[in-house]
Amino acid sequence: MGILKNGTNLMDGRNESDISHTPGSWLFGPEWPGQRCGARTRQGGSCRKPALRGRTRCQLHGGRAGAPSGPRNGAWKHGRYCREKLESDKAARARIRHLAMVSRLMKSADKLSDFDPGRAEILWNLVHAEIDRIYLADE
């Protein structure tokens, strides 16, 4: 049953006071003390239905939403985009960037060794330290 803010029924023009409300009816008046659904309606007002127990929304606005994560969810198929996979991919990309930085250091040290052996030795020591850090992270 559609009721506008001014109390007019969309179906037959009756006022809200003309409509009899039975206990358990979905239309709760402004004096109802319980927690209301926090959703906004298409007309701009707020939903007047009660929120589900322990939630902030009614069942029409997603109060019953929330599926279990992982294989317990019936729609879970492969895990390609699961949280664990995304985190491991992020760590792998960070390791690749780190290895690329070490590779650039090695090339710089190799080029520098012809011109300034002292600086090249410092750079090689840095490369070896980074490689040791990579191996220690793997263990």
pLDDT digits (tens, 9 = 90+) for 79-125: 788 888 899 999 999 988 988 888 888 888 888 877 888 888 888 88
Same domain? For 87 and 132 the reply is yes
Same domain? For 56 and 90 the reply is no
Q: Provide CB contacts within 8 A for 26, sequence distance 6+.
A: 49
Same domain? For 126 and 88 the reply is yes
Report d(CA 102, CA 117) in Å as an integer.
Answer: 19
Quick check: 1 pLDDT over 50? no
pLDDT band at 139 (very low <50, low <70, confident <90, very high): low
Same domain? For 92 and 120 the reply is yes
In the chain, the number of structural domains is 2
Instruction: Based on DSSP, count helices (H) and strands (E) in the chain, helices before strands.
Output: 2, 0
In a domain, 7, yes or no: no
The chain-wide mean pLDDT, for the chain, equals 77
CB 126: neighbour CB atoms within 10 A?
A: 15
In a domain, 72, yes or no: no
Q: Which domain holds residue 119?
A: 81-138
The DSSP 8-state label assigned to residue 67 in this structure reads: P
pLDDT, one tens digit per residue, over 3-32 is: 555 555 445 555 555 545 555 555 667 777
Same domain? For 92 and 119 the reply is yes
In a domain, 87, yes or no: yes
Quick check: 33 pLDDT over 90? no
Same domain? For 46 and 86 the reply is no
Q: Provide CB contacts within 8 A for 134, sequence distance 6+.
A: 95, 98, 99, 102
Same domain? For 127 and 91 the reply is yes
In a domain, 39, yes or no: yes
Same domain? For 50 and 99 the reply is no
Whether 75 contacts 67, CB under 8 Å? yes
Query: Residue 58 is which amino acid?
Result: C
In a domain, 12, yes or no: no
In a domain, 102, yes or no: yes
Same domain? For 109 and 134 the reply is yes
Half-sphere exposure (Cβ direction) of 120: Cα atoms closer than 13 Å: 12
